[in-house]
Structure 1
Amino acid sequence: MGSEPHSTIQTVFARSASGYVGRELPPAEQAIGVDGLVWGYAEEICSPAYWAAQAWMWEVEAPDHYKLGRSLEEELIACLLGGYGIPAEVGLAAYERLRAVNADEPAALRSEEVVLALLEEPLNVKGRLVRYRFAKQKASYLAGSMQQLLQVDKEAPDRDLRDALTNLPGIGLKTASWIVRNWRDSDCVSILDVHILRAGRILQIFPMNWSVERHYLQLEAAFLGFAGAISVRASILDSVMWMNMRQLPIAIVRRLIDPTFVAPEPSRRAPSQLELAL
């Protein structure tokens, strides 16, 4: 993939099953129609053009890369067992174990005791036996959610389904949005974690004093508005931002958010929660 830099009309390329394909983006100095932002250059990390190019490339190369389950129940299991504090490979290993049980006997996962026994048994992760963290807490959440999911209207519109899922044990707006995005390929919700928050702050579409805990719906509206302005699917953009931002060194991220930031001398002190959110 690549681009023709500094031309009036920018062209980016992606490899598809039939060969290389190209897409034109507006000139770098053209406004996108959101908060005074201009497109910038496609090779300029975290510019609107960069995100438009990256999202389009991923849509060409791997449009279904985020979907895990074959049913809403399976997607709920995957998302509830993953997330903060759980390495991706550990969450996936736990998901595969519980998905196999759900396929044979769905009612079994409505029992907290059964789920806890499944999560407490060490998982084989790349040849190593690993214990799943928070087994008791997640067993309670998962069993309760599987019970209450029976009462949820699975055919409801995306936003209504997301809101209904937030009434299940252990499922907030972020996890509910994750489930709906994955299962429905939904462009009506956003999975707002620290990586998306940082990307939005770099773009200056997220005010610095807004937090996921207190301003989720406002942040989501700003994100969806940005996705629409650069003409990319919100579901793809969300995933691409997450993948890109988590790979950037934190010092670079902080400098992009605040150009006056100066990296401190190395310290043994663990970063505070506020520092991690920047």
Structure 2
Amino acid sequence: MVKQLPAPDVPVGVGPLVWGRGEEICSPAYWAAQSWMWELDEPEHYRLGSSLEEEVLACLLGGYGIPAEIGLAAYQRLRVELSRNHSSLTDADSVYFVLKQPILLNGRSVHYRFARQKSRYIAAALTGLERIERGQNDRELRDSLMELPGVGPKTASWIVRNWRQSDEVSILDIHIMRAGRILGIFPQEWRVDRHYALLERAYLQFARDIDTRASVLDSVMWMTMRRLGPAMIAALSRSV
């Protein structure tokens, strides 16, 4: 099915936001066009693991200021341990022994931050995961995952989005928040720690309004905003 962008002055949904032009970075038309193209090129690109356990492991190691490259490198190490002996990663000391080892990245040695804390979270989460009902719908599974140590709404949503290719949840990290503020769909006073449900509802509605899959739009926003420099983000924010 061929999709076409509406005229730039056509409203998006019922609010004051208009589509804008496809070449206008961070406009609704831009996000729609990029998402449509991405879905054609990379229809299934979310999963980092081959099991829910691996997906939980990968998402616990990422985010919260951890560079994606370091989180993925740490994940690959622990994934090997998980494949060898699942029970070894339910012991925090065993996880820490692997996680504290230096990581060679782009020719330099780096260490995973907060290795001790993450080791405790990983061990407890993989233990608790055994009690979670796998047949729940996407939002129910997200809510159940939030009962695991170290797993908040953002991490739980990330796990469900990846594992289920879900369009029913939203990963509200700093990049999505910036994009939403530039668009004007996230009021400035809303905060992730206090207004997650409201922010998620606004994001999912925007995805529906521009006829994109929420999961694909999230990936496109994350990659785009991550590449934009501070000066560009500041300029886009001032233009709102």
Q: Which residue of 2 aligns with 1:180?
A: 160
Percent same amino acid at aligned positions?
A: 57
Amino acid across the alignment from 1:64: E
Q: Are positions 1:258 and 2:238 aligned together?
A: yes
Q: In 2, Cα distance between the equivalents of 1:217 and 1:187?
A: 15
Cα deviation, residue 36, structure 1: 2.1
Residue in structure 2 matching 1:42, options 19, 22, 34: 22
1:246 alignment partner, SS class? helix
Q: In 1, Cα distance between the equivalents of 2:168 and 2:14?
A: 18
**CA displacement, residues 23-57 of structure 1 (integer Å, 9 cap, x when unaligned):** 42111121221422221111111111110001111
Cα deviation, residue 241, structure 1: 0.5
Q: 1:86-235 alignment to 2 at 5 Å?
A: 86-235=66-215
Cα deviation, residue 127, structure 1: 4.4
Q: In 1, Cα distance between the equivalents of 2:232 and 2:77?
A: 38
Q: Which residue of 1 aligns with 2:224?
A: 244
Give the 4+ runs in structure 1 shifted more than 6 A.
none
Q: Which residue of 2 aligns with 1:12?
A: none
Does structure 1 retain, via aligned residues, the 8 Å contact 2:46–2:163?
no
Q: Radius of gyration: which is bigger?
A: 1
Cα deviation, residue 247, structure 1: 1.4
RMSD: 1.6
**Contiguous gaps of at least 5 residues in structure 1:** 1-20, 261-278
Q: If the length of structure 1 is used for normalisation, what is the TM-score?
A: 0.83
2:212 alignment partner, SS class? coil
Q: In 2, Cα distance between the equivalents of 1:88 and 1:199?
A: 19
- Larger RCO (CA within 8 A; separation ≥ 6): 2
Q: In 1, Cα distance between the equivalents of 2:107 and 2:237?
A: 40
Flag the structure with higher helix content: 2
**Contiguous gaps of at least 5 residues in structure 2:** none
2:227 alignment partner, SS class? coil
**CA displacement, residues 129-150 of structure 1 (integer Å, 9 cap, x when unaligned):** 3221111000000000001001
Q: In 1, Cα distance between the equivalents of 2:229 and 2:109?
A: 30
Flag the structure with higher strand content: 1
Cα deviation, residue 22, structure 1: 6.1
Cα deviation, residue 251, structure 1: 2.5
Q: Which residue of 2 aligns with 1:65?
A: 45
Q: If the length of structure 2 is used for normalisation, what is the TM-score?
A: 0.95
Q: 1:70-81 alignment to 2 at 5 Å?
A: 70-81=50-61
Cα deviation, residue 181, structure 1: 0.4
Q: Which residue of 2 aligns with 1:270?
A: none
Q: In 2, Cα distance between the equivalents of 1:157 and 1:23?
A: 30
1:25 alignment partner, SS class? coil
